[in-house]
């Protein structure tokens, strides 16, 4: 019974991993660009949610929305201020840019909010649900469900709508898309906004049930790398399935080997994956 | 222009004789260590253009192995130095072999993941001192423990190692190896189509860089006699190498040394001004500098001088000579 509970909790957390990792996959797929600050976007989402609760007395829906909007704006601003130029530059500049951004965001939070762990003040979402002997906390259940729905929505947006086709057209061939009357700059800015918003929402959802500090971004970004590598780079559906798998693996390894080793197992999996199957489980290359 | 490196070398040689305060001599030694590790990073990150964001793993291995040998068998610290270098070479091989066959950002992602993995394992293993770390000999048992009261002997040992790293880089720069690396950085596909064994040479550069970074880590432990997971394997150790090399000029011989000469005293000064509260501010500042370099001048200060400032000065001088 405990094992089932561990599996369920792992899948719920995995759904949130899937959400922010699909944001990373979107940027990778569109621009062949890895955002080293993606974990810091998740962290920023947590603190935006925290401020929305403290200042505006926002409820769970309110602060999640605040994190989404706040991070969307941050993503667009970062695209125009930094990424647009850097994309034309050498690889050194591409990697340094978001690496510097990660450092900047992490220590800005460190400076503003202090390095201590905080938890969101008590929200309306409390209690546990008893599913035939499996006890799940309501915040985790809601977080998992919302994350799963939003990841699916992102996938549908990319594959079923005209906006999604435009985004993919820019990804495929920038010049050809331009000739078809699509503005690549706007589309890429939109992708950065969506990617950052997915991380922000994921941050708010994680903050529902876990304490956080400015340093949490460091492990989220590596989790996103593992998920994206497992799912095949640039694939949102791949990231969705891989996110669930990683959440499950993390939860099971915490249960079997102790909580300290859950990151060790996941990071080790990444190295093994690079050796054995660099194109990911679902990818073809 | 040829006199500049010699003037720099002369200035470094006489520095501890001119500045006799312990504070300045200590800082000089620190500048040299940082310059050594940043120059080592520069071989793979600058010349080959393969940006490692996890070089701390080599620095940490170079620092931990000597002190581990002391802990286990009471050996003098310098005995463990080759072991640290060997472990670093093994790590470089494990990371480099699979990722260098792939293009793009795989390598950078793998380096940060491996560095974090090793940091977590070391922090949780009692054998390696866990989160507290390991300590070298508390009291010197003889000259072979290399414990000096003054920083000056360390300064000259570090200067010799830095000289060795720069000499190797200079030799590399002018050899086929150096040209291959720059070709890979400029355009990997073009280099491959011209017959450059791309993945093999990237791996060589990475392993050379790893070995020198481990040497810098060993220098650190020999001077401080103490290491913990954060100061050996922490992400900020990698950040330090990257920012020093990128600020001075990644892919240039003397850029990392220049970066260290500028940044280390500045950092020491801000730490004394603001006290412990400086950590947040210092790294906000670092992040900002890294973004500015990436956005405006990825070549760092040396390129800024060559491309923007020097031509301006020349033009002005030319105007003055014009009738």
The pLDDT tens digits for B20-46 are 888 888 899 999 999 999 999 999 999
What is the distance, to the nearest Å, from the Cα of residue A51 to the centroid of all Cα atoms in its chain?
20
B48-107 residues touching A, CB cutoff 8 A: 49, 51, 53, 94-95, 97-99, 101-102, 104-106
Q: Do B112 and A95 touch (CB under 8 A)?
A: no
pLDDT at res. B323: 46
Distance from CA of B80 to the nearest CA of A (A): 27
Has residue A282 got a pLDDT over 80? no
pLDDT at res. B278: 54
Closest residue in B to A96 (Cα) is: B294
Asked if B261 contacts B31 with a C-beta cutoff of 8 angstroms, the reply is yes
Q: What share of chain A is helix, strand, coil (3-state, %, to 5)?
A: 80, 5, 20
Has residue A153 got a pLDDT over 90? yes
pLDDT at res. A285: 46
The pLDDT tens digits for A47-106 are 999 999 999 888 888 999 999 999 999 999 999 999 999 998 888 888 889 999 999 999
The pLDDT tens digits for A194-250 are 999 999 999 999 999 899 999 999 999 999 999 998 888 778 888 999 999 999 999
Q: Do A36 and B108 touch (CB under 8 A)?
A: yes
Chain B residue numbers touching A100 (CB-CB < 8 A): 286-291, 293-294
DSSP B49: -
Closest residue in A to B187 (Cα) is: A90
pLDDT at res. A36: 93
Q: Which of A96, A105, A111 comes nearest B281 by C-beta?
A: A111
Quote the mean pLDDT of chain A. Answer: 89
Chain A residue numbers touching B112 (CB-CB < 8 A): 36, 221-222, 225
Closest residue in A to B285 (Cα) is: A104
- Specify the 3-state DSSP secondary structure of A118: strand
B216-235 residues touching A, CB cutoff 8 A: 235
Task: Report ipTM (2 d.p.).
Answer: 0.88
Domains and CATH numbers, chain A: 2-276 (1.10.3470)
Which parts of chain B have pLDDT scores under 50? 322-323
pLDDT at res. B164: 95
Has residue A251 got a pLDDT over 90? yes
B125-164 residues touching A, CB cutoff 8 A: none
Residues A78-97 as b/e (b if ≥16 CB within 10 A, e otherwise) read: bbeebbbebeebbbbbbbbb
pLDDT at res. B318: 66
Q: Do A93 and B281 touch (CB under 8 A)?
A: no
Helix A138-160 to helix A184-209 angle (10° resolution) is: 170
Distance from CA of A198 to the nearest CA of B (A): 21
DSSP B105: T
């Amino acid at each position: 019974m405990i094992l089932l509970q561990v599996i369920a909790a792992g899948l719920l957390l995995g759904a949130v991993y899937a959400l922010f990792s699909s944001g990373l996959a979107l940027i990778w797929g569109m621009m062949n660009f890895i955002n080293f600050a993606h974990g810091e976007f998740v962290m920023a989402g947590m603190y935006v949610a925290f401020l929305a609760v403290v200042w505006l007395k926002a409820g769970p829906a309110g602060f999640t929305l605040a994190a989404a909007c706040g991070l969307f704006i941050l993503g667009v601003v970062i695209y125009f201020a930094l990424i647009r130029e850097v994309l034309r530059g050498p690889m050194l500049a591409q990697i340094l840019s978001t690496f510097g951004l990660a450092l900047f965001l992490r220590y800005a939070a460190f400076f503003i909010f202090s390095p201590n762990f905080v938890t969101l003040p008590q929200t309306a979402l409390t209690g546990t649900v008893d599913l035939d002997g499996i006890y799940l906390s309501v915040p985790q259940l809601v977080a998992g469900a919302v994350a799963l729905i939003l990841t699916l929505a992102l996938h549908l947006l990319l594959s079923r709508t005209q906006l999604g086709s435009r985004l993919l057209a820019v990804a495929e061939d920038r010049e050809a898309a331009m000739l078809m009357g699509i503005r690549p700059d706007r589309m890429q800015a939109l992708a950065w906004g969506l990617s950052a918003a997915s991380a922000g929402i994921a941050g708010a959802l994680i903050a529902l049930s876990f304490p956080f500090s400015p340093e949490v971004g460091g492990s989220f970004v590596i989790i996103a790398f593992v998920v994206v590598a497992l799912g095949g780079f640039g694939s949102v559906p791949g990231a969705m399935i891989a996110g669930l798998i990683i959440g499950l693996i993390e939860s099971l390894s915490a249960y079997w080997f102790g909580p300290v080793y859950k990151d060790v197992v996941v990071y080790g999996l990444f190295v093994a994956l690079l050796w054995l199957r660099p194109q990911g489980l679902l990818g073809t290359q | 222009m040829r006199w500049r490196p010699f003037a720099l070398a002369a200035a470094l040689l006489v520095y501890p004789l001119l500045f006799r305060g312990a504070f300045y001599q200590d800082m000089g030694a620190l500048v040299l260590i940082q310059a050594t590790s940043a120059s080592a990073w520069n071989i793979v990150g600058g010349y080959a253009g393969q940006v490692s964001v996890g070089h701390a793993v080599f620095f940490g291995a170079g620092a931990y192995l000597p002190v581990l040998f002391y802990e286990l068998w009471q050996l003098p610290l310098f005995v463990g130095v080759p072991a640290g270098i060997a472990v670093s070479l093994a790590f470089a091989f494990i990371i480099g072999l699979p990722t260098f066959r792939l293009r793009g950002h795989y390598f950078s992602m793998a380096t940060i993941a491996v560095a974090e993995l090793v940091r977590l394992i070391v922090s949780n293993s009692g054998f390696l001192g866990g989160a507290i770390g390991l300590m070298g000999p508390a009291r010197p048992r003889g000259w072979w423990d290399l414990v000096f009261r003054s920083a000056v002997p360390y300064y000259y040992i570090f200067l010799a190692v830095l000289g060795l790293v720069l000499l190797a880089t200079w030799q590399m720069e002018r050899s086929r190896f150096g040209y291959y690396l720059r070709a890979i950085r400029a355009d990997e596909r073009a280099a491959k189509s011209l017959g450059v064994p791309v993945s093999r040479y990237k791996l060589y550069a990475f392993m050379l860089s790893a070995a020198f970074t481990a040497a810098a880590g060993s220098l650190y432990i020999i001077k401080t006699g103490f290491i913990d997971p954060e100061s050996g394997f922490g992400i900020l150790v990698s950040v330090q190498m990257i920012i020093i090399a990128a600020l001075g000029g990644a892919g240039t011989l003397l850029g990392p040394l220049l970066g260290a000469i500028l940044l280390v005293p500045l950092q020491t000064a801000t730490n004394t001004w603001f006290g412990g509260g400086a950590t947040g501010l210092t790294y906000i500042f670092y992040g900002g500098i890294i973004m500015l370099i990436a956005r405006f001048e990825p070549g760092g200060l040396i390129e800024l001088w060559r491309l923007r400032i020097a031509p301006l000065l020349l033009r002005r001088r030319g105007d003055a000579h014009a009738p």
